[in-house]
């Protein structure tokens, strides 16, 4: 981010908040901030206030989220992050431990593939019937193998990540509304990561926040199946005459294109 008037730049961050692929509403909100500190998350969710958000937050092990879980938010772990630790062991070191762990994770993801078309209640039932026994076996396996490897080794770190976050990682099993991982939101931020090398800078904090607002609308339009250009053009044309009481109709997940007159 540029510092107007100072001839300097410094690192800034685009936070991404997204509903899950299992939610009725599909939306992504980008929030531009000067730091990666956890206060940004707490401020965005209005935690510690009467308007504070309540719900389940699917996250990795980033320390900035930790205080959110003391303020009414439920932590849900990302199984893809746990799996990645073992995939790196297997890919980089041909680790037998990594290979065996990947088989457990594959079994968990097989259940998710079979549950893809189910409602939340049926998804929960299927997970408890098929995925929970796999998860229980994985936990026992993690504990047993941790006793066999030295502290500080790559294998120990992979095992400890899953063991330390086990409760959060397996919370999805008992709630069919929750996904197994946060790959969905990571897919939403990929265009931001790719575009960074082209954009290089935000001209100021205000410019970054404006860009985040526009990106939020365009990406939300895209994940709702709309052509972002058609959506934005239609909204800009209708906005001047849209009653304030009906402004919500222009949100990407509620927007309906007005048929062209012939």
Per-residue pLDDT tens for 107-122? 999 999 999 999 999 9
Q: In this predicted model, what pLDDT tens digit does every residue of 210-238 receive, in sequence order? A: 989 999 999 999 999 999 999 999 999 99
Q: How far is CA 42 from CA 38, 137, 200, 230, in A?
A: 7, 36, 27, 34
Token pair in block for residue 111:
């259940």
Q: Say which DSSP state 68 is in.
A: G
* pTM for this entry: 0.86
Specify the pLDDT at position 261: 54
Token pair in block for residue 84:
């990645």
pLDDT at 104 over 70: yes
> Is the Cβ–Cβ distance between 234 and 258 less than 8 Å?
yes
Q: Quote the CA–CA distance of 165 and 54 in Å, as a whole number.
A: 21
Inter-axis angle of helices 154-164 and 79-93, nearest 10:
170
Q: In this predicted model, what pLDDT tens digit does every residue of 33-54 receive, in sequence order? A: 888 899 999 999 999 999 999 9
The more confidently predicted of residues 163 and 72 is 163
pLDDT band at 5 (very low <50, low <70, confident <90, very high): low
Specify the pLDDT at position 6: 60
Among residues of the chain, what percentage have pLDDT more than 90?
Answer: 75
Specify the pLDDT at position 97: 96
Q: Quote the CA–CA distance of 19 and 29 in Å, as a whole number.
A: 9
Specify the pLDDT at position 258: 75
Token pair in block for residue 41:
């998350």
Specify the pLDDT at position 188: 75
Q: Quote the CA–CA distance of 134 and 141 in Å, as a whole number.
A: 10
Residues with Cβ < 8 Å from 211, sequence gap 6 or more?
32, 202
The number of C-alpha atoms within 13 Å of 252 and in the hemisphere containing its C-beta is 26
pLDDT at 30 over 80: yes
């Amino acid at each position: 981010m540029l510092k107007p008037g100072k001839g300097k730049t410094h690192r800034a961050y685009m936070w991404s908040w997204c509903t899950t692929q299992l939610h009725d509403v599909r939306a992504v909100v980008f929030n531009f901030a000067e730091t990666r500190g956890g206060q940004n998350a707490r401020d965005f969710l209005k935690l510690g206030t009467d308007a504070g958000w309540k719900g389940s937050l699917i996250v990795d092990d980033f320390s900035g989220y930790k205080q959110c879980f003391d303020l009414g938010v439920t932590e849900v772990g990302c199984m893809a992050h746990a799996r990645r630790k073992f995939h790196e062991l297997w890919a980089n070191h041909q680790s037998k431990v990594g290979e065996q762990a990947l088989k457990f994770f594959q079994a968990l993801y097989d259940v998710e593939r079979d549950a893809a078309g189910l409602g939340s209640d049926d998804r929960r039932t299927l997970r408890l019937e098929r995925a929970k026994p796999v998860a229980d076996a994985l936990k026992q396996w993690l504990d047993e193998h941790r006793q066999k490897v030295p502290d500080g080794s790559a294998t120990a770190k992979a095992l400890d990540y899953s063991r330390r976050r086990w409760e959060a990682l397996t919370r999805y099993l008992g709630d069919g509304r929750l996904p197994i991982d946060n790959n969905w939101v990571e897919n939403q931020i990929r265009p931001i990561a790719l575009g960074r090398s082209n954009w290089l800078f935000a001209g100021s904090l205000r410019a970054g926040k404006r860009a985040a607002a526009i990106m939020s609308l365009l990406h939300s339009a895209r994940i709702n199946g709309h052509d972002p250009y058609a959506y934005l053009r239609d909204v800009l044309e209708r906005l001047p005459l849209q009653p304030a009481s009906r402004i919500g109709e222009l949100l990407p997940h509620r927007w309906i294109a007005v048929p062209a007159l012939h």
